[in-house]
Amino acid sequence: MIPETAILAAIVLPLAGALAIALAGRISPNLREAATAITAISLIWVVWGLLPTLMEGGRPSVEVSEVLPGLSIAFKVEPLGMLFAALASGLWLINSIYSVGYMRGNNEKNQTRFFACFALALSATMGIAFAGNLFTLFLFYELLTLSTYPLVAHKGDAATVRSARIYLGVLLSTSIGLFLPAIIWTYMAAGTGDFTAGGILAGKLNDPEIGLLLGLFVFGIGKAAVMPMHKWLPAAMVAPTPVSALLHAVAVVKAGVFAITKIIVYIFGIDFLFAAPSSQWLLYAAAFTIITASLVAMRQTNIKRLLAYSTIAQLSYVVMAAAILKPLAEVGAAIHMVAHAFGKITLFFAAGAIYVASKKTEIAQLRGIGKRMPWTMAAFTIGALSMIGVPPTAGFVSKWYILAGAFEANNLIAVFTIIGSTVLNAAYFLPILYMVWFEQEKEGGKEHGEAPVLAVLALCLTALLTLGFFLFNGPVIELESQVVKGLG
Amino acid sequence: MDLLAHLPALQVIVPMLSAPLIVLLQPRGLAWAGATAVALLSFAIAVSLTLAVLDGQTIEYAMGGWPAPYGIALSVDAFSALMLLVVTGASTAALLAAKPSIDKQIELGRQPLFYSAWLLVLSGLVGIVVAADAFNIFVFMEISSLASYILIAGGPDRRALPAVFKYLIMGTIGATFYLIGVGLIYMMTGTLNLADMEARIGDVVEINPVLVAAGFITIGLALKAAVFPLHVWVPNAYTHAPHMVTVFLAACATKVSLYVLIRFDYMVFQSKLVDHDMQFAMFAMPLAILGILVASAVAMFEGHLKRLLASSSVAQIGYILLGASLVSVIGLSASATHLFNHALAKGGLFLAVACLAYQYKDLRLDQLGGASTRMPWTCAAFVVCGLSLIGVPGTAGFISKWLLINAALQSGPWGWGLVAIILISSLMAVVYIWRIVEALYFNDPVEDDVLTSSEAPLQLLLITGLVAILNIYFGIFPQVPLELANSAAALLMEGAK
C-alpha cells in the first residue's frame, strides 16, 4: 500500500469498523466480534506496513483539507507517532480478545455501543498519532475525549455518570481553556502549527513567554494527567476494565504524553527550550507529580484506583524525561510510553480478570489468590516488576535511558526523583505480591478458578511482551533515535 | 426576456405570489407539496444568485425598469447572498421535514392558511435581505413579522398566545423605532435609498437628528434581533411555537434583523459620521459580551429543552454582534460565517427536538429518559449538532469561533479578554449541551413501559440527519460560506470607508 493511502486508511478503517460493528450488533454478537477482529487485524496490517518506510527515513505526509488559510487538516508520520500508532493498534487486537472474554463473562449491557465507541476511539488515536500539525492534533484529541465518554459512562448509573462528568469536564475544560489558547498563540507567533524537526518557535518568543506557553500546553493537555489536572483519571476507573486497560493505560493517557513530547520536540525544539530558563519548571512539576502520585497510590485500597495513581506517576516519567531536554532522555520518553503500556495493560487485564472470576475489587481481598489464579497473578507480578523497573522487564529499559539522559544533563533532581519513585513503587507493589503468593486466603470465600480463557490468553500475551521488550528493543530504539539524530 | 436578470425580483415575488394560491389548495397534503415546491424554487434562486455574486460583484435591480430614487431598487451582494442561502435553506429544510410534524400539530382544515403564512414569512425575510431602500425593508419586515405571529400562535399550545402577544408588542416597538429613525434620516437627506443616504449624509449640516436616527434604528433592530437585553420575547415564542416553526425562525428570523442592523450601520452611518465606528463598538460590544455570558448562564440552569436552546440562541446572537462590533474585516467575516454556521447548528438541534416531540409530549429535561434507546438516530444527530454549537473542531461551529478568536486577538490590547470570554462561554455551552446529552442517554424513562426503538417518521429523520452531516461537512470544507463571508466583510468595510 502507498504510505499516503495507508495514513488515511489507518483513520478511516476504525471509523468504518465502528459503523460495521454498530450494524452487525443488531444481527448477532459473534458477527460483531468478528467485525472488531477484522478491523483490528487490518488496522495492524495498515499501520505496521508503514514501519519499513519510516525505518528508511521516509516521512510520508498527506493533506486532507485546508480549512482556513494556514489551518489545514494534514497528516505526517514521524517516528514518535509511528511508535504510538503501532503500539495502540497492536494492543487493540489483544485488548479486543480480552474484551470479548470480559464483557461476556460479566454479562455487560450495551456491548454493541461499547465495541463501536472503542473503534471510534482508535480512529481518533490514529489521528492523534499521525497529526501533521497542532490543529489536526487538537481535532482528534477532542474526538478522543468525546468518543471515550460513552465508554467511561458505560454502566449508566448515577455514580458512574457523575464520574464520567468529571472525566469530560476536566478534559474538555483544560483543552478548551488552555490547550486551544496555546495553539492559537503558537499560530499567531509562528504563523504555522506544523510539526517541524527542530521546532518552529525559535526566535519567535522571548523568555518568560516560553515558559507560559509551555504551561498552557502541559496543563491544557489534561490527558497527560500532570498534577493538578489528574483528577479525571481516577474518576475514569468506573469504566469497564478493558477501557481502563487500553484507553487509560495506553491510548488516551499516552495521547497526552505523546502530544506533550511531540510539542516539545517539534514545536519548541529541544535546544531552543533547553536555552530558556523559564521552561525549567516543567521538570519540577513532573517530579512533584511522580512523587505525590506514588505517595497517594500507597494509600489506595481499591486495585484499579491504585493502578490509576500509578499511571499518573508513570505518565509524568515521560513528561519529565521529555523535559530533561537531552537526546537520550527523549528516546527514554518514547520507550517509556511502550514499556509502561505493556506493563500497565497487563496489570489492568489482571485486575479485570480477578473481577470477572471472583468479583473482588479491593487489595485486601487478594490474599492467597495466586493459588486460584496462577496464570493471571504471574502476569500481574511481571507487570508490577516492570512498574518498579526490575530486570528482565520492559520498565528497566526505559528507566535506564531516562537515567542516562538525566546524568547527561547533570540533572540531579531527575535522578533522585527516579530513585525515590522506584523505592515508592516497590513499597506499594511488593506487599501486594507478597499477599498474593504467600499469605493464606480467608476462610469461607467464594470458590473460583481462572477468568474466561480469552481474558487469560490476552493477559499472558501482554506479560510476554513486557518480558520480550527487555530483550528485543533494538528496532524501537533505532527508530526513536531518528527523532534526535543530529541533535545534542 | 432573460429570466436570469430578474432573479433578485423573483426571489421575493415567487413566494409572495404563491402564498395566496396555497390557500386554495385544500385537498389533503397539496398545500404542503405546493409550499415545499415554492421553497425549493426559492432556494434554487438563492443558489444561482450566490453563484452570480461569488466573485464579489453586486447585482443591482430596478423594479419595472424605474431607476433607483423613484422606483423600488433591489440589490444582491455576497452578504445578502449568504443571508439568502440561510433563509431559503432553513425554510426548505424545515418544510421538507415538516409534513409529519405539522400534520400532528395543525388541524387539516387550517393547514393551507398555515403554509400560506409560512410563505409570507419567507418572502418577507428574503425581501428584507434584497431590498435596497430603507422603507421597503420596513415593509418586508412588517410582512414577515405579522405572518410569523400567525405561525407561532398557529400550534396547539395555547401558551403560544401570550408569548406571541409579547412578541407582537416588542416587535412593533422595534419596527416603530426603526421607522422613526428612517423618517428622521429622510427628513435630513430626502432619500430612502440606502446608497443615496450614504452619499448625502455627509452633506447634512445639523448632525444631531442623524445621530438620533442612528440610535432609533440600532435599538429598533436590536429589539427585533433579540440582542441582549432586548431578547425577552424569544424564549417563550420559540418554546411554544409549533416545532417546525421554531426550526425555521430560530435558524434565520432574528439573524435577518441583525443583518439589516450590520448593513445599515456599516453602509450608511459609518462612512460619513465621525467616530461612529467607535460609538457602534462601544454600544454593541458590552451588549454582546453580556448576552453571551448571561444567556449562556441562563441556559445552564434551564429545565425545558426548547427554552434552553432559545436561551442559547440569544448567546449566539451575541457572538455575531461581537464580531461585528470589532469593526474589522476579519471580525465581520467571523460574524457572517457564524450567521451561517449557527443556523446550521441550531436548525439541526430544533429539528432533532421536533423528532423527540414524537415520543415526548413534555420536553422538560427530566422527562426525556430513555430517548437514546427509543430514538438512537435522533439522539446521534442531536449530539453532532450540539458539538457544532459548542464549537468542537471538525464541526462548522469551530470555524466561526476560530475566526472570532482571531478577530479578537487582532483587535487590540483587550483581545485576550475577549478570547477568554469566548472560551468561557464555550465551556458554558459544554455544560448546557451535556445536561441534555445526559438526559437523553442516562436518565431512566419516566414511565415503566418497554423501551423499543420507535424513531420519528423517516422524512423528518432524514432531513435531521442531513443537517447533522452538513454540520460536519462545513467544519471540514468551509470554503464556500467562508468565501462569501470574506467578500461580504470586505464589501462592508469598504462601505464604511
Instruction: Please count the CA atoms within 13 angstroms of the CA of B209 that sit on its side-chain side.
Output: 13
DSSP label at residue A71: E
CA A25 to chain centre: 28
Q: Do A67 and B478 touch (CB under 8 A)?
A: yes
Q: Which residues of chain A have a CB within 8 Å of the CB of B402?
A: 68, 71, 184
Spatial separation of the C-alpha atoms in residues A80 and A86, rounded to whole Å = 10
Neighbours of B258 (CB within 10 A): 22
β partners of residue B304: B364
Residues near A228 by Cβ (< 8 Å), separated by ≥ 6?
none
Distances, alpha carbon A212 to alpha carbons A172, A187, A217, A273, in Å = 20, 15, 9, 12
Q: For residue range B17-61, what is the model confidence (pLDDT) as tens digits?
A: 998 888 888 777 888 899 999 999 999 999 999 988 887 788 888
Mean pLDDT, range B107-134, rounded to an integer: 90
Q: Are the beta carbons of B259 and B79 closer than 8 angstroms?
A: yes
β partners of residue B477: none
All 3 cell numbers of residue B311? Answer: 436561551
Query: Taking the domains of chain A in order of start, what are their residue ranges?
Result: 280-488
β partners of residue B364: B304
> Could you tell me the pLDDT band of residue B91, with boundaries at 50, 70 and 90?
very high
N-term to C-term CA, chain B: 38
A430: helix, coil or strand?
Answer: helix
β partners of residue A66: A72
List of E strands, A12-152: 61-68, 71-76
Q: Do B419 and A146 touch (CB under 8 A)?
A: no
Burial class of residue B458 (count of CB atoms within 10 Å of its CB; 0-12, 13-18, 19+): exposed
Residues near A153 by Cβ (< 8 Å), separated by ≥ 6?
A160, A161, A163, A164, B441, B442
Q: Do B434 and A161 touch (CB under 8 A)?
A: no
Q: What is the largest CA-CA distance in chain B?
A: 76
What's at A242, amino acid-wise?
P
- In angstroms, the separation between the Cα of residue B188 and the nearest Cα of chain A is 44
Task: Please tell me if residue B373 touches chain A, with a CB cutoff of 8 Å.
Answer: no
Q: What is the largest CA-CA distance in chain A?
A: 70
Q: Do A184 and B405 touch (CB under 8 A)?
A: yes
Q: For residue range B362-404, what is the model confidence (pLDDT) as tens digits?
A: 888 888 877 877 888 889 899 999 999 998 888 999 999 999 9
β partners of residue B74: B61, B131
Q: Which residues of chain B have a CB within 8 Å of the CB of A68?
A: 399, 402-403, 478, 482
> Could you tell me the pLDDT band of residue B496, with boundaries at 50, 70 and 90?
low
Confidence at residue B298, expressed as pLDDT on a 0 to 100 scale = 92
Burial class of residue B497 (count of CB atoms within 10 Å of its CB; 0-12, 13-18, 19+): exposed
Q: Are the beta carbons of A83 and A480 closer than 8 angstroms?
A: yes
Q: Which of B446, B447, B307, B301 is nearest to B367 (CA)?
A: B446
Q: Are the beta carbons of B421 and B289 closer than 8 angstroms?
A: yes
Please compute Rg for chain A using Cα positions: 21
Mutate to test the interface with B, among A143, A176, A186, A188 (most CBs of B within 10 A): A176
Residues of A in CB contact (< 8 Å) with B are 64-65, 67-68, 71, 73, 135, 138-139, 142-143, 146, 150, 153, 156, 161, 165, 168-169, 172-173, 176-177, 180-181, 184, 188
Of B387, B427, B478, the CB nearest to A176: B427
β partners of residue A62: A75
Q: Do A67 and B399 touch (CB under 8 A)?
A: yes
Q: Are the beta carbons of A323 and A282 closer than 8 angstroms?
A: yes
Give this complex's ipTM: 0.81
Q: Do B393 and A139 touch (CB under 8 A)?
A: yes
Residues near B477 by Cβ (< 8 Å), separated by ≥ 6?
A65, A67
Instruction: For chain A, 488 residues long, give each residue's pLDDT as a single digit of tens.
Output: 788 888 888 899 999 999 898 888 888 888 888 888 899 999 999 988 888 888 888 888 888 888 888 788 899 888 888 889 988 998 888 888 888 888 877 777 778 888 888 899 999 999 999 998 999 999 999 999 988 888 888 887 888 888 888 888 889 889 988 999 899 888 888 888 888 888 888 878 887 888 888 888 989 998 888 888 888 888 888 888 888 888 777 888 889 888 998 898 888 888 888 888 888 888 889 999 999 999 998 888 888 888 889 999 988 988 898 888 888 888 888 888 888 888 889 998 898 888 888 888 888 888 888 888 888 889 999 999 998 888 888 888 888 888 888 888 888 888 899 899 999 999 988 988 898 888 887 776 677 777 778 888 888 888 888 888 888 877 888 888 877 764 43
> Could you tell me the pLDDT band of residue B335, with boundaries at 50, 70 and 90?
very high
Spatial separation of the C-alpha atoms in residues B374 and A145, rounded to whole Å = 25
β partners of residue B62: B73
DSSP label at residue B193: B
Q: Which of A462, A457, A327 is nearest to A401 (CA)?
A: A327
Query: Is a pLDDT exceeding 50 seen at residue B71?
Result: yes
Of A73, A143, A180, the CB nearest to B423: A180
All 3 cell numbers of residue B273? Answer: 459620521
All 3 cell numbers of residue A236? Answer: 475514569
Task: Please tell me if residue B387 touches chain A, with a CB cutoff of 8 Å.
Answer: yes
Q: Are the beta carbons of B131 and B183 closer than 8 angstroms?
A: no
If you count residue pairs, one on A and one on B, with CB atoms under 8 Å apart, how many are there?
Answer: 57
**Could you tell me the pTM of the whole model?**
0.88
Task: Please tell me if residue B412 touches chain A, with a CB cutoff of 8 Å.
Answer: no
Confidence at residue B63, expressed as pLDDT on a 0 to 100 scale = 80
All 3 cell numbers of residue A388? Answer: 518498579
Q: Do B394 and A143 touch (CB under 8 A)?
A: yes
Q: For residue range A281-314, what is the model confidence (pLDDT) as tens digits?
A: 888 899 999 999 999 988 888 888 888 899 999 8
Spatial separation of the C-alpha atoms in residues B440 and B271, rounded to whole Å = 50
Q: For residue range A343-356, what is the model confidence (pLDDT) as tens digits?
A: 889 998 898 888 88
Mean pLDDT, range B317-333, rounded to an integer: 90
Confidence at residue B177, expressed as pLDDT on a 0 to 100 scale = 94
DSSP label at residue B450: P
Q: Do A172 and B405 touch (CB under 8 A)?
A: no
Confidence at residue A488, expressed as pLDDT on a 0 to 100 scale = 34
Q: Do B393 and A165 touch (CB under 8 A)?
A: no
Spatial separation of the C-alpha atoms in residues B459 and A172, rounded to whole Å = 35
Give the pairing type, strands A61-68 and A71-76: antiparallel
Spatial separation of the C-alpha atoms in residues B430 and A173, rounded to whole Å = 9
Spatial separation of the C-alpha atoms in residues A235 and A161, rounded to whole Å = 10
A201: helix, coil or strand?
Answer: coil
Q: Which residues of chain B have a CB within 8 Å of the CB of A135?
A: 393
Neighbours of A231 (CB within 10 A): 16
Q: For residue range B400-455, what is the model confidence (pLDDT) as tens digits?
A: 999 998 888 888 788 888 989 999 999 999 999 988 988 888 877 776 555 566 78
Distances, alpha carbon B190 to alpha carbons B67, B186, B214, in Å = 16, 5, 16
Confidence at residue B339, expressed as pLDDT on a 0 to 100 scale = 92
- In angstroms, the separation between the Cα of residue A180 and the nearest Cα of chain B is 9
Q: Are the beta carbons of B71 and B60 closer than 8 angstroms?
A: no
Q: Do A176 and B430 touch (CB under 8 A)?
A: yes
Neighbours of A298 (CB within 10 A): 16
Residues near B278 by Cβ (< 8 Å), separated by ≥ 6?
none
